[in-house]
Amino acid sequence: MLNLPYYIRPLNVLKQVLVMAIAMSTEVSLNAHKELRHFLLSPRQRHMPSDYRAFIYFGMKGQLRFNSGMALLDTAGKGADFIMAEVALPPFGYCVTRPVGDRSSLAESKGLYDITWFSNYGFNEWTQVHLRIPTRETHFPSPLDYRNLQGVEEL
């Protein structure tokens, strides 16, 4: 895990991550994301819709990952998610989820860093933020699968 200072425009960064997620959505599923589309098309609007969460990680090893529109359920009862999109383009990976019901996001249980709070800032507002971004490996195409190669070989 790296704890580094960043001088960024948090709302702008968050909206760019969400635009990538929307861009990966199928035409049929776009109707399910009307509130999110409105949030993105209104540059000055803050506070993204409360049923979405956005996460970040350092993707230092593995392959590129582009997933969208998948539902995951953790059988251990840690959560259930609709994975709107996961994009891994080194050095960063992003995951946008829509947790099911009152459960927490599976991305949170995987230790990804929640950047949903970036929506508290104004559009084009520069600030310094300290982020504790975890490192993850993306060797396999499944969303939220961060096993290293050694861990898979041992199965």
Amino acid at 97: T
CA 58 – CA 136 distance, rounded (Å) = 6
- Which pLDDT belongs to residue 1? 74
Top mean-pLDDT range of 33-37, 103-107, 117-121: 117-121
* For range 11-29, the mean pLDDT: 85
Task: Name every residue whose Cβ is closer than 8 Å to that of residue 92 and which is 6 or more positions away in sequence.
Answer: 56, 57, 58, 59, 133
Sign of the four-CA dihedral 138, 81, 56, 132: negative
Sign of the four-CA dihedral 89, 91, 96, 99: positive
3-state secondary structure of 77: coil
- What Rg do the C-alpha atoms of the chain give, in angstroms? 15
* pLDDT one-digit tens code per residue, 62-89: 989 888 776 665 555 555 667 888 999 9
Strand (E) or helix (H) holding 70: strand 65-73
- Which pLDDT belongs to residue 9? 97
* pLDDT one-digit tens code per residue, 111-128: 999 999 999 999 999 999
- Which pLDDT belongs to residue 141? 86
By the 8 A CB rule, do 10 and 121 touch?
yes
Entry pTM: 0.88
Quickly state the pLDDT bin for 15 (edges 50, 70, 90): very high
- Which pLDDT belongs to residue 79? 58
* pLDDT one-digit tens code per residue, 87-97: 999 899 999 98
Q: Does residue 26 surpass a pLDDT of 60? A: yes
Q: What is the bridge-based pairing of β-strands 113-114 and 53-62? A: antiparallel
- Which pLDDT belongs to residue 127? 97
Among 67, 73, 69, CA closest to 100: 73
Sign of the four-CA dihedral 35, 40, 45, 49: positive
Q: Does residue 155 surpass a pLDDT of 70? A: no
Residue 4: beta bridge partners? 131
Q: Does residue 152 surpass a pLDDT of 70? A: no
By the 8 A CB rule, do 54 and 96 touch?
yes
